Structure formats: structure tokens, C-alpha cells
């Protein structure tokens, strides 16, 4: 390993990316283990850890295994080769599984039972419930499921990744010399949680429990010796070669097919399954022992997320927070008029996402709108944004939609939306060859008495009204000429063949963001070395880029005070004497997923603030089309600075990263009073909305007799 990759005592300058990802899941798991939270909220966090783990295995473990098979043993910046990373991942993920199910069975489910939500097993059912379950099996389950025999040395059936299945061991005929095996895939089209009658509250049984109980009916005349639930995870780390000739949409469809047939990277199986069952599945699926997870509870814990939203059990949920109306953008006033009055900075989901939706929807209906151009990365299933773009195209407006077909796990939905938009006459671009387009920008071009005006939205989150209620993101809406001109140049560059041009204000990856960040970081280091005050505050999802991390180390050594709020992956080691003692890193885990990217540089007392779609990772800065947008409007910049400062002051839901890569809970003390940033943002939004409602002038309407009303 080269010297610059090690600290003074030989320790790597960097933390491993994959282990840092897992550490985030453990922080989420501690929310599930928090007895102060109501049980359905705890169940939600446990389900999130399982969903995160599913993606981790599909993408990160899948990629590492491909590297290992190809003979790649080159170490990562932290000094770990793929084989070493896989070994450590296995240890930590086995720990996580044990903690998930210990928490579920010993803490969460007993609390749920007290509140009336009960998961029952077959042996716990009453006679009436047994009759109901049997009828369900005969009428709805048996006609759908299909058992598949697996002959000796025969082909194993193709199973869907992340789908539940049952391994069945059948008694073999004496002449056959042993047991016979079969697989029963649990249909995804059937409800996993089946409601039971006669229960006070909500009693349910899992679908796989019913199939197991009646497995004998699938194999008449043959004794079922064992029936065990299992689940496989397939490698999803595959992409198109869009540097080659061919139809990108057709290639994306091929990728979706490949994922259904890719290698198994994880086998989850019930802990009570026999050694014979495990050995058979391991051999058939070509899975190493380290990739077998014996689960001491229900498989697919991520599916329990839907129980967390069960209606009618509000006492077992957290207090609901509603997105608040934005006083500066009343629903009665068109967004064009709002933005003529001034710029708008929004913090979602505390403030409603409606102004962003309204900008697109009103533009679609407005006769003076000439064009709408928008990047779509992840949109909802019934997207009002896409519906508005389709209406605009049908009304003859020039609509350009850059739909990123390579948005992982949203490829199929994006393909469908691309087809639908193209049929309405919109100009559809399938991203940019060789890159993913991850920028969040929409520009509306409008004819006005004084000439053509451009209204722009720059954001940190996707144009998805559903995740806008779950993710904490920021939006900047403006009518200023420079921002509009930059948005037009950006779209013209992506839809044509030109290189990224010089912008007036914004910066774009892959060419401009990293150099600009390095320049800003170096500027703070130079000022500090000259005795001036210097500081960097930044909020992001992930920090992995080695070049930026080295620049931050150098700035720290120059005396720059650096405070970072990094939600998930962080490969920087903070607090190392002589290297990073001026750097602190916090991670906030609360009810909303922290997603906004906000950067602040002191700049000699004239702070520079930015919103960005990009995390500080090589993939964002080198392999994606991203935007970094300066917020210079005084009121918006001051508010953005306050948002960043509030996040960095959190002492109730934040965790401090230590130099060894572990995290400790940050607690209030004499210097840092108790503060929960997400609650502060919600209460602040509520207060602003209430104050605006009180200031509205009342409209007085006289009460008249009924006859006078008729005459009037």
C-alpha cells in the first residue's frame, strides 16, 4: 500500500465503504431497539434495516463477488481486497440478522400483541380459524401454487430474487435410495399477511405458514418429511454497455431479464431447517457457507413495513407530522406570480411539496407556456409530474423529458413512463451515453409581456411526491435570468452532442463539481494558514471520494474547522491527531430519511452556500450528470445556513463518527443543549403556517334573511 494511504501509525487514511454502509444499518437498527418509541414505529425501522440489507446484497455484495470471480484482489482505498471485505461483511450481517429477530420477537411483537396486533401460528388457531384457513387454502392458494420436483442431478427451478419459497423433502421410495426434493415458490400475487376471524384487534397468519401446513396436499400419496421456508438474493450489479451501438431501451430490458437469472449471493433459510435442507440448497444454488443466513424468525422482514402503516392503531404509532402550507406560495396565487415576487427555498417534507408540483401542473395548463424541460430519475407509480408533462405535450407545448433508464430498480417503471410520454408527442431522452443523469432540475419557458421568462426548480430530491413526504430534501425555485439561462444551457448540452458549457452560476458533474469543491476547500485552507477565520460545513448522504477526503485532511491540518453531517457512508476518519483533528462527523437517523445536500464555505466572512444533487462520491462526481447550485439570494442563503446549523446542532437523534469507524450516540451537555433538528424544522414550519393564517384579512359576509337571499 502506498504511503499516502496510511496514517502515521500505519492505519489507513480511509474507512471501508461497505462496512460504513453496514454501520448505517446498525444505527437504524438501534432505532428499532429504542424502547421509548411505540411498537409500530420500531417495526418500521426493523423493516427498513431488512430492506437496506436486501439492496446491499444485490448491489454491493453482488459486485464484490463478481470482482472476486474475475480474480480481482486489488485493495480498496481502505486496504481491503474483495475477499477480505466479503469476510467482514458476512460477520457483520450475521450479527445484524440476529439483532433484527431478537428485537422483533422479544420486544416488538410482545408490545404489538398487547395492543391487539397478533401474528399467530397454525397451532395457536381456534377451530373456527382453522376452518377459515383451510377454506382460504382450497379456494385461493392451492389453485395458484405449483410444486416443482427437483430430480437428482436435475436442473433447479428458476426462482425470483427476494421471493419466498419452500423447500420440501419427500420420503423416497426404497428403490430410489433416499429422499426426494421439491420446491414450492410462494406466489407474489397473494397477500403475505392473511387476516384471521374472531380476533379482537388484528390477528394474522403468514402465507408461507399456511402452505407449509397443507404441503401434503400438494404431493398426494407421498409423505412430507420436511418443509422449510427460504429466500434467495440475486446479484443485481449489472448494467448496460451504452458505449456500444444499440438501442438503450432494448439493452435495459435485457438487464432486467439478466437479473432474474443472475447468481445467488445470499441464501436465507429458517433456522430450524435441517442440515440436509441447507446442504441441498447450498449445492443447488452454488452458495458458500458464509452466504447462508439461518434466520430465527419470519423471512423477508422488509415486508413487515406494511404492518407499520396498519390503520386504526394510532396509539402504537408516532405522532403524525403533516407537511405545512408555504406562506409565500398560497394555493390561490399562481406559481408564476409567486416567483415574480421573489425566490423560494423550501425544506421538505416539513413544508409542502405542492409548490413544486404546481409549477409543472400550472405550466401544463397555462396558454403562455412555450416549453417544459425536466429530468426524471425516480418518479412515483401514478406520477402527477409525468401526468402534467403528458397534458402539456398534448396541448402542443414543447416538452423535453430526460428519463434516466439506468436508475437502478426503477428501470421498468421508467421504461413505461418513457413510452407513455413519447406517445403524447413529448421529446424523450434516455439519459446520456456513458453516464447516469441524477440532476434534479425543471425549467418552464413562458411568454410574458416583457419577453420570454424562465422559471426554474433546482432540488436535492427526486420528482416524486410520495418520497417527498418521507425524505428530507430542499428545493430552490427562481425566475432569475442567470439560473434560467444555466438551466437552458444544461438541457441543450444533454440533448445535443455538445460538451458541458461554462455556466453563469451552477456547476455540473462530471467536469465541474469536483474542481469547484477542491477550489473552495483550498480557499478555506489558505485563509486559515494566513490567520483568517475559516470553516466548512457540509451535509450529504455519503462521503467516499479519496481526492476530496485528502483535501479535507489538508484543510484540517491548516486549521480549518470542518463539521460534516453525513447520513450514511463515510470513508473519512475524523479526529485523528495531526490528520483530521479539526474534523467532526455526525449522522442523523430519525423519522425522515436525511437526503438534502447542502454545502457552506465561510469564504472570509461572505459565506458561499450550495444545494446539490451530488454526494461526494466518485460515482456522483465522475460517472453521473449532477448539479451544484449556489444560493445567493440573501434570505434564502440565510435560511439554508440556519438549516445546516440546526442539523449540526442535533443532540437527540445524531451519532458521532469515531476514528475507528464506529459511531457513538451524541448526547446533550452543558455546551450543546437538547435539540432534535427534524422536530425543530416541523415546529418551525407549523409556526410559520399558523402565523400566515392569522395574518390573512377576514372576509365579512352579512347574514341575510332567506327571502332577501332569494331576491338577491
Is the predicted pLDDT of residue 695 greater than 90, yes or no? no
DSSP secondary-structure letter at 190? S
Residue-averaged pLDDT of the chain:
91
Q: Which CATH superfamily is domain 508-689 in?
A: Endonuclease Chain A (3.30.870.10)
Query: What SS3 state is found at 606?
Result: coil
Secondary structure in 3-state letters for 110-134? HHHHHCCEEECCHHHCCHHHHHHHH
Angstrom CA distances, 61 to 100, 102, 131, 146, 232, stand at 20, 25, 44, 31, 13
DSSP secondary-structure letter at 137? I
**pLDDT tens digits for 647-660?**
999 999 999 999 99
pLDDT at 252: 44
* CATH number assigned to the domain covering 121-302: 3.30.1840.10
Contact 666, 305 (CB under 8 A): no
Please confirm, yes or no, whether 595 is among the known catalytic residues: no
Contact 521, 589 (CB under 8 A): no
Least confident interval from 54-58, 101-105, 347-351, 439-443: 54-58
**What distance in Å separates the CA atoms of residue 479 and residue 638, rounded to the nearest whole number?**
19
What is the pLDDT confidence band of residue 10, given thresholds at 50, 70 and 90? very low
Instruction: Give φ, ψ of 381 to 5 degrees.
Output: -65, -40
**CATH C-level class of 1-115:** mainly alpha
Cα–chain-centroid distance for residue 609?
25
Contact 346, 355 (CB under 8 A): yes
**What distance in Å separates the CA atoms of residue 541 and residue 361, rounded to the nearest whole number?**
30
Is the predicted pLDDT of residue 558 greater than 90, yes or no? yes
What is the pLDDT confidence band of residue 599, given thresholds at 50, 70 and 90? very high
**What distance in Å separates the CA atoms of residue 145 and residue 163, rounded to the nearest whole number?**
13
Contact 402, 494 (CB under 8 A): yes
- Catalytic choice (132, 181, 348, 438): 438
* CATH number assigned to the domain covering 335-500: 3.30.870.10
Give the domain ranges of the chain: 1-115, 121-302, 335-500, 508-689
What is the pLDDT confidence band of residue 2, given thresholds at 50, 70 and 90? very low
Contact 487, 354 (CB under 8 A): no
**121-302 shares the fold of 1-115:** no
**pLDDT tens digits for 64-77?**
888 888 777 788 89
Contact 358, 466 (CB under 8 A): no
Point out which residues pair with 539 in neighbouring strands. Answer: 565, 598
Least confident interval from 28-32, 399-403, 456-460: 399-403
- Other CB atoms within a 10 A radius of the CB of residue 340 amount to 12
**pLDDT tens digits for 109-166?**
999 999 999 999 999 999 999 999 999 999 999 999 999 999 877 788 989 899 999 9
More confident residue, 73 or 376: 376
- The C-alpha cell 390561490 sits at 332
Point out which residues pair with 446 in neighbouring strands. Answer: 369, 453
pLDDT winner (highest mean) among 6-20, 469-483, 693-707: 469-483
**Dihedral angle at the C-alpha atoms of 40, 45, 47, 50, nearest 10 degrees?**
-160
pLDDT at 153: 75
Amino acid at each position: 500500500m502506498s504511503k499516502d494511504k496510511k496514517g502515521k501509525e500505519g492505519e489507513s487514511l480511509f474507512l471501508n465503504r461497505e462496512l460504513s454502509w453496514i454501520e448505517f444499518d446498525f444505527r437504524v437498527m438501534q432505532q428499532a431497539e429504542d424502547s421509548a418509541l411505540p411498537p409500530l414505529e420500531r417495526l418500521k425501522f426493523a423493516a427498513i434495516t431488512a430492506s437496506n440489507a436486501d439492496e446491499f446484497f444485490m448491489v454491493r455484495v453482488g459486485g464484490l463477488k463478481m470482482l472476486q470471480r474475475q480474480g480481482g484482489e486489488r485493495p480498496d482505498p481502505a486496504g481491503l481486497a474483495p475477499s477480505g471485505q466479503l469476510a467482514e461483511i458476512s460477520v457483520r450481517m450475521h450479527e445484524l440478522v440476529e439483532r433484527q429477530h431478537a428485537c422483533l420477537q422479544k420486544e416488538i411483537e410482545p408490545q404489538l400483541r398487547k395492543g391487539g396486533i397478533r401474528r399467530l401460528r397454525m397451532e395457536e388457531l381456534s377451530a373456527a380459524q382453522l376452518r377459515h384457513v383451510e377454506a382460504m387454502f382450497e379456494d385461493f392458494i392451492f389453485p395458484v401454487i405449483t410444486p416443482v420436483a427437483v430430480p437428482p442431478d436435475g436442473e433447479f427451478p428458476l426462482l425470483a430474487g427476494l421471493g419466498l419459497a419452500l423447500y420440501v423433502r419427500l420420503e423416497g421410495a426404497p428403490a430410489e435410495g433416499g429422499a426426494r426434493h421439491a420446491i414450492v415458490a410462494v406466489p407474489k400475487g397473494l397477500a403475505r399477511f392473511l387476516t384471521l376471524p374472531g380476533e379482537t384487534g388484528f390477528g394474522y397468519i403468514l402465507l408461507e405458514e399456511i402452505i407449509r401446513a397443507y404441503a401434503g396436499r400438494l404431493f398426494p400419496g407421498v409423505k412430507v418429511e420436511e418443509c422449510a421456508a427460504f429466500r434467495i438474493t440475486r446479484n443485481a450489479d449489472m448494467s448496460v454497455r451504452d458505449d456500444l451501438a444499440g438501442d438503450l431501451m432494448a439493452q435495459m430490458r435485457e438487464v432486467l431479464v439478466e437479473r432474474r437469472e443472475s447468481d445467488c449471493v445470499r441464501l436465507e433459510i429458517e433456522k430450524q431447517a435441517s442440515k440436509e435442507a441447507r446442504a441441498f440448497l447450498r449445492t443447488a444454488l452454488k452458495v458458500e457457507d458464509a452466504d447462508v443466513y439461518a434466520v430465527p424468525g419470519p423471512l423477508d422482514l422488509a415486508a413487515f413495513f406494511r404492518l407499520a402503516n396498519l390503520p386504526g392503531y394510532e396509539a402504537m404509532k408516532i405522532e403524525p407530522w403533516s407537511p405545512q402550507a408555504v406562506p409565500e406560495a398560497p394555493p390561490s396565487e399562481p406559481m408564476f406570480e409567486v416567483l415574480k415576487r421573489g425566490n423560494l427555498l423550501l425544506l421538505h417534507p416539513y413544508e409542502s411539496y405542492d409548490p413544486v408540483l404546481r409549477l409543472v401542473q400550472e405550466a401544463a395548463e397555462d396558454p403562455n407556456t412555450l416549453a417544459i424541460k425536466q429530468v426524471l430519475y425516480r418518479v412515483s407509480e401514478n406520477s402527477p409530474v409525468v401526468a402534467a408533462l403528458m397534458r402539456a405535450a398534448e396541448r402542443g407545448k414543447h416538452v423535453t423529458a430526460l428519463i434516466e433508464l439506468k436508475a437502478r430498480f426503477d428501470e421498468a417503471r421508467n421504461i413505461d413512463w418513457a413510452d407513455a410520454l413519447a406517445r403524447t408527442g413529448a421529446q424523450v431522452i434516455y439519459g446520456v451515453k456513458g453516464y447516469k443523469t441524477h440532476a434534479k432540475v425543471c425549467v418552464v419557458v413562458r411568454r410574458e409581456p416583457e419577453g420570454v421568462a424562465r422559471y426554474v426548480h433546482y432540488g436535492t430530491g427526486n420528482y416524486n411526491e410520495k418520497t417527498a413526504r418521507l425524505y428530507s430534501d430542499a428545493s430552490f425555485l427562481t425566475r432569475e435570468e442567470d439560473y434560467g439561462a444555466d438551466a437552458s444551457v444544461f438541457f441543450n448540452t444533454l440533448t445535443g452532442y455538445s460538451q458541458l458549457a461554462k455556466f453563469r452560476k451552477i456547476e455540473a458533474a462530471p467536469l465541474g463539481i469536483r474542481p469547484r469543491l477542491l477550489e473552495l476547500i483550498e480557499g478555506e485552507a489558505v485563509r486559515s494558514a494566513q490567520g483568517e477565520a475559516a470553516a466548512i460545513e457540509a451535509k450529504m448522504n455519503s462521503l467516499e471520494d479519496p481526492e476530496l477526503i485528502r483535501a479535507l485532511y489538508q484543510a484540517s491540518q491548516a486549521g480549518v474547522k470542518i463539521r460534516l453531517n453525513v447520513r450514511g457512508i463515510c470513508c473519512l476518519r475524523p479526529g485523528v491527531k495531526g490528520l483530521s483533528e479539526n474534523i467532526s462527523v455526525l449522522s442523523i437517523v430519525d423519522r425522515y430519511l436525511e437526503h438534502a445536500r447542502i454545502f457552506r464555505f465561510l469564504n472570509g466572512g461572505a459565506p458561499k452556500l450550495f444545494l446539490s444533487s451530488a454526494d461526494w462520491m466518485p460515482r456522483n462526481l465522475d460517472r453521473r450528470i449532477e448539479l451544484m447550485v449556489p444560493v445567493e439570494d440573501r434570505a434564502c442563503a440565510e435560511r439554508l445556513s440556519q438549516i445546516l446549523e440546526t442539523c449540526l446542532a442535533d443532540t437527540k437523534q445524531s451519532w458521532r463518527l469515531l476514528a475507528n469507524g464506529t459511531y457513538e450516540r451524541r448526547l446533550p451537555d452543558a455546551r450543546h443543549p437538547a435539540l432534535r433538528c427534524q422536530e425543530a424544522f416541523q415546529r418551525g414550519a407549523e409556526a410559520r403556517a399558523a402565523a400566515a393564517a392569522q395574518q390573512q384579512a377576514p372576509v365579512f359576509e352579512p347574514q341575510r334573511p332567506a327571502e332577501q337571499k332569494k331576491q338577491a
